[in-house]
Amino acid sequence: MPTTTGSSSLRRGRDAELTRARKRVEELRARIEHHDYRYYVLAAPEVSDAEYDALVRELAGLEQRFPELITKDSPTQRVGERPSTLFAPARHSEPLLSLDNAFDADELRAWFARVEKNLGTRGCPPVFCEPKIDGVSVAVVYERGRLVRAATRGDGFVGEDVTANARTIRSLPTRLRGSPPESLEIRGEVFLPVAEFERLNFELGSAGRPLFANPRNAAAGSLRQKDPKVTASRPLRVVFHGLVRVRGAVLETHGEALELFRALGLGVPAGARRCTSVGEVETYVRELEGRRHSFEHEMDGVVVKLDEYDACAELGATSKAPRWAIAFKFASEEQTTSLKDVRVSVGRTGVVTPFAVLEPVRIGGVTVSLATLHNEDEIARKDLRIGDTVVVRRAGDVIPEVVAPVPSVRTGAERRFTMPRRCPACDEPISRDAGEIASYCKNLGCPAQVLARLVHFASRSAMDVQHLGERTAATLIERGLVDDPADLFFLEVEDLSGLPGFGPRAAANLIAAIDEARARPLERLLVGLGIRHVGPRAARVLAEQFRSIEAVARAPEDELATVNGLGPVVARAVREFFERPETRRLIDDLRRGGVRPRESGPDRAGPLAGKTFVVTGTLATLSREEAKDRIEALGGRVASSVSRSTDYLVVGERAGSKLAAARRLGTTTMDEERFLDVLSRS
Ligand code: IVH
């Protein structure tokens, strides 16, 4: 009968699927176990959290579909891995569980729905939201106010006794303040501030030692040192986010626990907030993700936990995680990928910069396939080799960076990078002078340099020639129409029409844009010339003092050095530049081409007149100096610290105390996007 045939073929189909699933489950378990060992025991993970999570999720999904494949020792059924033998074992009084994750708003809402259902409440019970600090989990015991033990999480039941090392952490009080309860066990997170992580990696690399892939590994590695003196030399911090048990005090809510911790002199998560609706939690999550880089530690999400302990007790826990808390995970900012090649690019000053060609990888919603490697020494410092698996980070809008290799997965086929002997663009020798970090192609006529100089000349902060991007500049050079910036001013519409991508309209537009640039202020021309050490600020000082390019070109070195704080380095560079015969030719040609810089100075009646700005953190598209110049050019004032007279705080990545001060004073803040918008509209 057709139905029978149908169902038996269905069964056969399921059997085949089960066989496939069994194989995959086994594979996944082996991989997860391996990564657990690397992470928990060696504190040296090989894959990012996101990749690890994906493996666990796939395994959990298969086990859900085929429950017959679940075994007691599956990684989904356990809390963690075995502790190492470096430290004495420390049995936890309560198992230190992990947290379940929510990866999007739907999963977060589903968690709330489950909580409400299980508690039988209508609406959302009060919850606490906190940053999920990306550090090392610790359990700390105080008896009569004295620190008696600090232990890592280990497998959740037995951790490692790291008391001696933990005692070196200055934010961990050895004696509690105020009136401590008789006995207290608390959970917290040890972390290394991001700035300290960067400093530590720099030092390690300079000493030829392996780097840490991220601040968490650095914290774990520092806490698990054999010698507490090494731990002491690493500025670790600790904050506490949970009560395990207390004797001699009555605490009913998480909020009370955090208050008690504070009163006892213990750090608590910055930015914790009590919320009473799902909407409030969602707002908190969005806000925190937006400013995740303004914290001194890394965070990989938000932890949402019920405030009332009675409700927590009612919900209980699975073998792995409590039901009363959930971690909302942010998108990962770190991935591993393979370093396929290292190539070099040549800049306008002839600096030869190596860059990484990566197997494309998505990080924080953007595909990364290239990353600068700065210079030869930096590659050696990080011990990066072609063919390596590498950790790539892209924190917020910050340019992607190759942080470190994963040496443990090397096959032996990896190759060290050596700087090419000849320039890839002109085949002239590449050289590196004694005491210099950078390598140079010293051929001023090198096509790569000519192109980079032209693009710089036309760029927004210099002569701002609209419609002249890199591609057009390259075409003009290739066709022999332009050799140096002055040639632009001799171009005519007929020269351009017929070039690829140039209709009559585009040709006329470019010629009009070039014409407009003839009257740009002197300071912009000085920037456009690309004189070493002369950025917008020095250019403005020179323009204000000398008023014409000829006067700058004539000025003796000692006079230049004393102008408004320019100093000897800039003075030397300016003199050297104008003494070159090719510079003199270029200046003549610019004049013959009709370039007549107009007088300039800050626009005192500009659209930002009377407004005071402070800039904090790192901006992705402008240096601090450039931001200052742009504000001042529009008549605004730039101050160095936030006060009551500050109108706007421009907030970049990793903003710190200034942001806090602005919040206190109620100063208006704007992020980089908004700031650029204000500049372009003003
Ligand atoms: S509450 C039962 N709050 O995240 C677990 N954990 O992925 C209760 N973590 O091992 C933990 N910041 O060490 C909590 N604000 C925070 C946290 C936090 C980081 C860690 C915690 C745990 C891990 C779970």
Residue limits of CATH 1.10.287.610 in the chain = 13-77
* Highest mean pLDDT, choosing among 75-79, 127-131, 557-561: 127-131
**Of the candidates 426, 449, 442, which has an alpha carbon nearest to the alpha carbon of residue 346?**
449
If you average pLDDT over every residue of the chain, what do you get? 88
**Ligand 1 atom closest to the CA of 187, numbered from 1:** 13
Contact 277, 122 (CB under 8 A): no
Atom of ligand 1 nearest to the CA of 131: 15
CA of residue 302 to ligand 1 center, whole Å: 9
* pLDDT for 416: 96
Which amino acid residue places its CA nearest to atom 13 of ligand 1? 137
Residue in the block written with tokens 């591609």: 471
Mean pLDDT of the region 575-582: 93
- Any idea which of 229-233, 422-426, 524-528 has the lowest mean pLDDT? 229-233
10 band by pLDDT with thresholds 50, 70 and 90 = low
Find all residues with CB under 8 Å of 668, minimum gap 6, and list them: 647, 648, 649
Return the CATH number of 447-592, one of 3.90.79.10, 1.10.150.20, 3.40.50.2020, 1.20.810.10: 1.10.150.20
Please give the pLDDT value at position 39: 64
Model pLDDT, residue 101:
94
pTM over 0.85: no
CA of 98 to the centre of ligand 1 (A): 7
DSSP characters for 160-179? EB-HHHHTT-TTS-SB--SS
> Alpha-carbon distance 588 to 415, whole Å?
49
If you average pLDDT over residues 290-307, what whole number do you get? 93
Spatial separation of the C-alpha atoms in residues 165 and 217, rounded to whole Å: 16
E-assigned strand segments in 256-295: 273-275
Q: For residue 6, is pLDDT > 70?
A: no
Decide which of 219 and 84 is more confident.
219
Check pLDDT > 70 for residue 442: yes
Indicate whether 160 pLDDT > 60: yes
Cα–Cα distances (Å) from 118 to 8, 112, 264, 314, 315, in that order, read 40, 10, 35, 8, 7
Averaged pLDDT for residues 320-332: 93
CATH 2.40.50.140 domain locations along the chain: 336-412
44 contacts: CB under 8 Å, gap ≥ 6: 38, 217, 221, 408
The dihedral region occupied by 344, where left means phi > 0, alpha psi between -120 and 50, and beta the remainder, is: beta
Are 193 and 236 in contact, with CB atoms under 8 Å apart?
A: no
> Residue 667: its pLDDT value, please?
82
Residue nearest ligand 1's atom 21 by CA: 137
Of 39, 97, 136, 137, the residue with max ligand 1 atoms within 8 A of its CB, to mutate for a pocket test, comes to: 137
Q: Mean pLDDT throughout 644-670?
A: 82
Residue 566 has pLDDT above 80, yes or no: yes
What is the model's pLDDT at position 237?
A: 92
pLDDT of residue 326: 97
Taking the C-alpha atoms of residue 649 and residue 654, their distance in angstroms, rounded to an integer, is: 14
Q: Whose CA is nearest to atom 2 of ligand 1?
A: 97
pLDDT of 643-656, one tens digit each? Answer: 877 889 998 887 77
DSSP 38: I
Residues 96 and 548: their CA atoms lie apart, in Å, by 72
CA neighbours within 13 Å on the CB side: how many for 433? 5
Query: Which tens digits make up the pLDDT trace of 465-512?
Result: 999 999 999 999 999 999 999 999 999 999 998 888 888 889 999 999
Residue 546: closest CA among 492, 475, 604, 599:
599
Please give the distance, rounded to the nearest whole angstrom, from the Cα atom of residue 99 to the centre of ligand 1. Answer: 7
Q: Where in the chain is the domain with CATH 3.40.50.10190?
A: 612-681
Distance of alpha carbon 649 from alpha carbon 619, whole angstroms = 12
Domain 13-77 has CATH 3.30.70.270: no
Q: Which CATH architecture has domain 336-412?
A: Beta Barrel (2.40)
Q: Residue 396 pLDDT more than 70? A: no
Give, using CA atoms, the residue closest to atom 22 of ligand 1.
98
Residue 420: pLDDT over 90 = yes
pLDDT on residue 82: 39
> Is residue 63 over pLDDT 70?
yes
Per-residue pLDDT at 253 exceeds 70: yes
What percentage of the chain reaches a pLDDT higher than 90? 59
Closest CA to 52 of 101, 110, 108: 101
Task: Compute the distance between CA of residue 72 and CA of residue 77 in angstroms, rounded to an integer.
Answer: 6
Select the more confidently predicted residue: 505 or 33: 505
Report how far ligand 1's centroid is from the alpha carbon of 280 (Å): 21
* Best probe residue, ligand 1, of 92, 94, 99, 295 (max atoms within 8 Å of C-beta): 99
Per DSSP, 339 falls in state: E
Q: Where in the chain is the domain with CATH 1.10.150.20?
A: 447-592
| Cα-to-centroid distance, 132 and ligand 1 (Å) | 6
Q: Where in the chain is the domain with CATH 3.30.470.30?
A: 89-329
* E strand intervals along 591-647: 612-616, 637-638
Residue 460 tokens, joined: 């927004």
The Cα 372–Cα 30 span in angstroms is 35
Q: Is the distance from CB of 95 to CB of 156 less than 8 angstroms?
A: yes
pLDDT band at 5 (very low <50, low <70, confident <90, very high): very low
Q: CA 673 to CA 167: how far, in whole Å?
A: 44
Whether 440 has a pLDDT exceeding 50, the answer reads: yes
**What pLDDT does residue 2 have?**
37
User: Distance from the CA of 111 to the center of ligand 1, in angstroms?
Assistant: 17
- Mind listing the pLDDT tens digit for each residue in 179-191? 999 999 999 999 9
Q: Which fold does the domain 89-329 belong to in CATH?
A: D-amino Acid Aminotransferase; Chain A, domain 1 (3.30.470)
Catalytic center residues: 132
Question: Taking 90 as the threshold, does the pLDDT of residue 605 lie above it?
Answer: no
Q: What is the pLDDT of residue 600?
A: 58
More confident residue, 504 or 529: 529
The whole-number pLDDT of residue 337 equals 95
Q: What is the pLDDT of residue 529?
A: 95
- pLDDT band per the 50, 70, 90 thresholds, residue 81: very low
Which ligand 1 atom minimizes the distance to the CA of 132? 12
Cβ < 6 A, ligand 1 pocket: 97-99, 130, 132-133, 137, 189, 241-242, 269, 303, 322, 325, 327
Statement: 612-681 belongs to CATH 4.10.640.10: no
Q: Exposed, middle or buried: residue 201 (CB in 10 Å: 0-12, 13-18, 19+)?
A: buried
Main-chain dihedrals φ then ψ at residue 392, nearest 5 degrees: -115, 135
* Ligand 1 atom with the shortest distance to the CA of 189: 13
Give the C-alpha separation, 458 to 454, whole Å: 6
Work out the pLDDT band at 36, boundaries 50, 70, 90.
Answer: low
Task: Specify whether the CB–CB gap between 612 and 645 falls below 8 A.
Answer: yes
